[in-house]
Amino acid sequence: MQFVEEIVVDEFLPTIRSLLAGELRERGLTQSDVADVLGISQSAVSKYAHGDVTINERIADDERVSATIEELADGLSTGDVTPVQALIELEVLVRELETGGDLLAQLHEEAVPELADHGASFRVHDPESDLRTSERVVSSLRRGLRILENASGFARLIPAVGSNLVACTPDAEDIDDVAGVPGRIFDVKGRTTVPAGPEFGVSEHVATVLLAARRHGADASAAINIAYEDDLLAALTERGHVAAEFDEVDDIASSVGAAIDDEPEATVLYQTGGTGIEPLIYVLGADAESVADDVRSLL
């Protein structure tokens, strides 16, 4: 009797760790860094690096494995992917390869030939779990924030109240389903300052704008607020954005909803301020990276 999990432990895991360790080393990580990222000892990393661990060539040559290793190595080396997200992505890959007839299922059937008579699927985990979805949103935000931090001149677009780049899960209903920067993004002596990594439930204002727009039909999953300038608004419309004005004197969710109802294609929302209210522009988009790219194009 042999379980498919034994194939994963004996064949898949050593192969994946070996390939990933090699790719991370090629991207400049030290042996100690690789050990920390993979959660293994430095001596184990050394064995992987020197080819002292036998890998399964069929697994190593699978295109999905290769693509996943490349993506995770890029993300882990830059910090755009966390070890937790990497674990989730590999777990999902395992479950895909375990599906009846796929690679790990084939290896399992070869080890236990009787299984071929049943044609059973061994997929037991949901690849679209809430945890995986949340990690993807946070990862997207990290990449978007990296774009803004590296964009020369972005600090001048940050309003006095601060900016926040937010992104939500596909079925977001309230601010707990929206991730953003705790404490917001500020201009500190001309430098874009992100005080902490993104978290869920920490943005109220920009999250409210995004959620209200979505409830009224906007096709957006991310948003950012920047300072209002006539030239900035004109530049965004020249780049193909549709703008709609709302009045923040009233309830912001209702005001945003009314603006979207009047202009369903709007991807830029703005309000020109009032007594005690700073004028702002909100840029909406499909994900945090595209929103950050739109803002960077203004510089």
Q: State pLDDT tens for residues 242-275.
A: 999 998 666 899 999 999 999 999 999 999 987 7
Residue 56 scores a pLDDT above 70: yes
Percent of the chain scoring above 90 in pLDDT: 63
Name residues whose C-beta falls within 8 Å of residue 225's C-beta, 6 or more positions apart in sequence.
159, 163, 164, 205, 206, 209, 280, 281, 282
Q: Name the amino acid, one letter, at 191.
A: R
Provide the pLDDT confidence category of residue 120 given band limits of 50, 70 and 90: very low
Name residues whose C-beta falls within 8 Å of residue 50's C-beta, 6 or more positions apart in sequence.
none
Residue 11 has a pLDDT of 86
213-225 pLDDT tens trace: 999 999 999 999 9
Q: In degrees, to the nearest 5, what angle opens at C-alpha 145 toward C-alphas 132 and 266?
A: 85
> pTM for this structure?
0.71
For residue 17, the number of C-alpha atoms closer than 13 Å in the C-beta half-sphere is 26
Percent of the chain scoring above 70 in pLDDT: 90
DSSP classification of residue 120: -
Q: Which domains does the chain possess?
A: 4-115 (no CATH), 130-297 (3.40.225.10)
Q: At what angle do helices 205-215 and 252-262 cross, to 10 degrees?
A: 40
Helix (H, G, I), strand (E, B) or coil at 28: coil
Residue 243 bridge partners (DSSP): 268
The mean pLDDT value of the chain amounts to 88
Helix (H, G, I), strand (E, B) or coil at 171: coil
71-107 pLDDT tens trace: 999 999 998 889 988 988 898 888 888 775 678 777 7
